[in-house]
Amino acid sequence: MNTLYPQAILYIFRYLDDFDINNFCKTNKYYYWKIKQQYIKQYDNLTIKEKYINGKILAANKFNPNYFKQIGMSCNKKIINLIITKYPIYAYYNDIIKGLCKSEKINIDLFRYVFKKYKKICVFKQNDEYLPPTTIAHYAAQYGKLEYFLYLISKVMEDDEKDYFRMLQYWLESACKGCNIHIIKHILNIIDLNIDNKCKNFDYGRSINGAVISGNYEIMDLIFERDFCMFWSLTGACNNGNLELIKYIAKKCDGVYDFGCYMHNNTMDIINFLKSLPQKYDVDNICYNMENIYFIKNLDIRLNIIQFALEMGFNPNHGLCTANLAENGDICSLSFLLNNGLTDLELPFESAVIEHKFEIVELFYNYLYKQNNMKYFKKIEKNMFDNRYNRYNRYNYKRTMEKYKKFMITIKQL
């Protein structure tokens, strides 16, 4: 068998039911990638029905993770029925249901049929793969399937009325992000009908964020008529990354209420515009959001924001911020912080060693050597050896320490 070409193996795989391609690939790793490439090329030219007729669903799903979603999107009742009858497995149902919600075709009878079958196998609802109706309704709201959405929320109402009203804000957020005005209006109508009791103190915070992220002015006006949140709105606009949208939202705000507005990969024009607004957050909010500074890809903008945060009262010794920078090997930002008050190096030092970012270790070593403070370097080095031994796998720990010791020998020789 080892001398067979990939095409011949695929031929055998396709026509012999007792031949297991997965086991063959495990024992013949040399052929694995060639087989995979040929397999994908061959099956990309086949329809979903032909794929099923070949009887190799599990293998097809392994090579194409979206296989069952595509089946759901096809809305072909015969094929879907064959699969959910032969393989009553959570993951396959989940993908088929997601595919039905995403499909351009609408077949409410098929959706009800699949959902009823799905509920029958969901005996153990604590299973991590189980999708309750509340979660499936998110997909229906996001992809604009009003009929599916109405059917699902009616099932949620039957099961738990409290859950139904609790989830309205999340469904509204999904509908806003998907720009589905007909579903948004339906949810708002439900809120209006229950405004005196169940929806008396309805929280529009998430839906405001979803409306702003969508960038749809009609949806924003619908939500802003009911409520406007200084905190969520500008943060959502910065997440969208549209300067005109940010200026539109800024007219309704009297300042920046969340330093998280700066934690998106935006242009310098947006950063400068945000700086020109009144800053309404506190130091704790800055420290909390600075933990995510490493998400900003542009180094010049990252350094600009760090400098601005320091001006606004940020403490450079905030552990998680420096630890995350060290973990990602950001020498420039850490050098800047060392020159602007960074003195607590224990957490960033540990993160750098564990992630094998030895260039950061060299930075700290040289800095403390110049400061004539090698006692502190030996102290944090000792703490790392003492503490990290019990936190990490022994094999990984030993391997890391060996690399670290070799690296330190080269540094001390310089």
The Cα 270–Cα 248 span in angstroms is 13
| Among candidate residues 231, 158, 165, the one with its CA nearest the CA of residue 193 | 165
Q: Which pair of tokens denotes residue 135?
A: 């979660």
Q: Which pair of tokens denotes residue 91?
A: 């993951």
Q: Which pair of tokens denotes residue 321?
A: 């911020």
3-state secondary structure of 356: coil
**Which amino acid appears at position 333 of this protein?**
S
The Cα 116–Cα 352 span in angstroms is 52
The Cα 30–Cα 371 span in angstroms is 55
pTM confidence score: 0.66
**Bridge-partner residues for 256, per DSSP?**
279
3-state secondary structure of 203: coil
pLDDT score of 184 = 92
Distance, first Cα to last Cα, the chain: 57
The Cα 361–Cα 403 span in angstroms is 12
The Cα 262–Cα 305 span in angstroms is 7
| Among candidate residues 103, 98, 67, the one with its CA nearest the CA of residue 83 | 67
**Bridge-partner residues for 279, per DSSP?**
256
The Cα 63–Cα 65 span in angstroms is 6
The Cα 246–Cα 250 span in angstroms is 6
- The full set of domain ranges for the chain reads 229-307, 316-414
Tell me if 137 sits within 8 A of 156, measured CB to CB: yes
Digitized pLDDT (tens) for each residue of the chain, 414 residues in all: 444 444 444 444 444 444 454 555 555 555 555 555 554 444 444 444 444 444 445 454 555 557 778 778 888 888 788 777 766 666 677 888 888 898 888 889 988 888 887 776 655 444 555 677 888 898 999 999 999 999 999 988 888 888 888 899 899 989 998 889 999 999 999 988 888 888 888 888 888 888 888 888 888 888 888 887 777 788 888 887 888 888 888 888 888 888 988 988 788 999 999 999 999 888 889 999 999 898 898 999 999 999 999 999 999 987 689 989 998 889 999 999 999 989 888 888 888 887 888 888 889 888 888 888 888 888 877 777 665 544 444 446 666 777 777 777 766 654
Tell me if 91 sits within 8 A of 129, measured CB to CB: yes
**Which amino acid appears at position 359 of this protein?**
E
